[in-house]
Amino acid sequence: MSKTNLDLDQFRLRRFIESLSAVDEVDIHDEPCDFADLAAIMQGNPKAVWFRNVGKDKQELVGNVVAARSRLALAFGVEPRQVALEMQRRLRLKPEIVELTREEAPIQQVVITGDALDLTQLPIHLQHAADGAPYMAAVDFVIDPATGLTNSGYRRLMLRGKREAGVDLNAPSDLRAIYMAASARKERLPIAFVVGGHPIDLVSSTMRVPVDELGLVSSLRAAPLPVVKCLTSDIRVPADAEMVIEGYLDERGYVEKEGPYGEYLGYYGGVKMNPVFHVTAITHRRDALFLTATISGNRMDMTDTSNLEALRAELNVWEALKPVVREPVAVYAPVASGGSMSVRISLRQRYPGEARTALYTVLGSVGVKNAFVVDPDIDIFSNEQMEWALGTRFQPDKDLIIVSGVRLSPLDPSLHGSPTGAKAGYDLTWPMAQATKWELTTPTPPTYEGARFPTLRAALEDGPKRFEALMAALGSRDGREIVRQLDELRDQGLERDDQGRYFLK
Q: Which residue is nearest to ligand FMN (CB)?
A: 153
Partners of 238 in the beta sheet? 227
Does 304 interact with ligand FMN (rule: CB under 6 A)?
A: yes
CA distance 251 to 151: 19
Binder to ligand FMN among 126, 171, 324, 486 (CB under 6 A)?
171
Q: How far is the CB of 204 from ligand FMN (least distance, A)?
A: 10
Instruction: Please identify, using beta-carbon distances, which residue of 174 and 187 lies nearer to ligand FMN.
Output: 174
- Tell me if the bond preceding 260 is cis, omega within 30° of 0: yes
Using CB under 6 A, pick the residue from 168, 201, 301, 375 that binds ligand FMN. Answer: 168
**Alpha-carbon span 306 to 58, nearest angstrom:** 30
Task: Report how far residue 33's alpha carbon sits from residue 158's, in angstroms, rounded to the nearest whole number.
Answer: 22
Binding track over 193-212 against ligand FMN, x by CB under 6 A: -------------x-x----
Part in contact with ligand FMN (CB under 6 A); list of ranges 283-291, 301-309, 428-436, 464-472: 301-309
User: Does the protein bind ligand FMN through residue 272 (CB under 6 A)?
Assistant: no
Pairing of strands 164-167, 276-284: antiparallel
Instruction: Based on the shown chain and the rule CB under 6 A, indicate whether residue 122 belongs to the binding site for ligand FMN.
Output: no
Which residue, 337 or 346, has its beta carbon nearer to ligand FMN? 337
CA distance 382 to 344: 10
> Angle 145-284-175 (CA atoms, 0-180°, nearest 5)?
25
Least distance between ligand FMN and beta carbon 164 (Å) = 16
Cβ closest to ligand FMN, residue 304 vs residue 375? 304
| Residue 305 sits in the site that holds ligand FMN (CB under 6 A) | yes
With H, G, I as helix, E, B as strand and everything else as coil, classify residue 274. Answer: strand
Q: Which stretch binds ligand FMN (CB under 6 A): 91-99, 166-174, 275-283, 350-358?
A: 166-174
Residues in the chain, total: 505
Q: How far is the CB of 126 from ligand FMN (least distance, A)?
A: 16
Contact 165, 159 (CB under 8 A): yes
Does residue 136 bind ligand FMN (CB under 6 A)? no
Rounded CA separation 131/294 (Å): 13
Beta carbons within 8 Å of 400's beta carbon, 6+ residues apart:
394, 424, 425, 426, 427
> Is residue 151 a contact point for ligand FMN (CB under 6 A)?
yes
Closest to ligand FMN by CB, 242 vs 304, is 304
293 belongs to the binding site for ligand FMN (CB under 6 A) = yes
Query: Per rule CB under 6 A, is residue 174 in the interface with ligand FMN?
Result: yes
Distance CA 189, CA 273 (A): 17
**Residue 258 makes contact with ligand FMN by CB under 6 A:** no
Contacts of 361 (CB under 8 A, 6+ apart): 320, 321, 324, 325
**65 near ligand FMN, judged by CB under 6 A:** no
Give the residues across from 404 on adjacent strands.
Answer: 422
Helix H or strand E encompassing 162:
none
- CA distances to 79, 296, 353, 497 from 167, rounded to whole Å, are 35, 17, 45, 72
The single-letter code of the amino acid at 111 is V
Specify the residue, 155 or 221, whose C-beta has the smaller distance to ligand FMN: 155
Q: Shortest Cβ distance from residue 295 to ligand FMN (Å)?
A: 6
CA–CA separation, 232 and 402 (whole Å): 51
| CB nearer ligand FMN, residue 183 or residue 305 | 305
Number of alpha carbons in the 13 Å side-chain half-sphere of residue 122: 36
Torsion sign over Cα 223, 229, 230, 236: positive
Choices 94-102, 172-180, 240-248, 275-283; region in contact with ligand FMN by CB under 6 A: 172-180
Q: Give the shortest CB-161-to-ligand FMN separation in angstroms.
A: 19
CA distance 138 to 169: 14
Residue closer to ligand FMN (CB basis): 170 or 385: 170
CB of 142 to ligand FMN, least distance (A): 8
Q: Which is nearer to ligand FMN, 106 or 259 (CB)?
A: 259
- Measured from the CB atom, is 87 or 471 closer to ligand FMN? 87
Among 106, 153, 238, 334, binds ligand FMN (CB under 6 A): 153
Nearer to ligand FMN, 195 or 228 (CB): 195
306-325 positions binding ligand FMN, by CB under 6 A: 308
Its sign, for the CA torsion 354, 356, 360, 363, is: positive
Which segment (168-176, 366-374, 465-473, 487-495) binds ligand FMN by CB under 6 A?
168-176
Does 137 engage in binding with ligand FMN (CB under 6 A)? Answer: yes
Taking the C-alpha atoms of residue 136 and residue 123, their distance in angstroms, rounded to an integer, is 9
The least CB distance from residue 90 to ligand FMN, in Å, is: 17
Report CA-CA distances (Å) from 412 to 169, 341, 376, 419: 17, 9, 31, 10
Total interface residues for ligand FMN by CB under 6 A: 18
- Contact residues toward ligand FMN (CB under 6 A) are 137, 151, 153-156, 168-169, 171, 173-175, 206, 208, 293, 304-305, 308
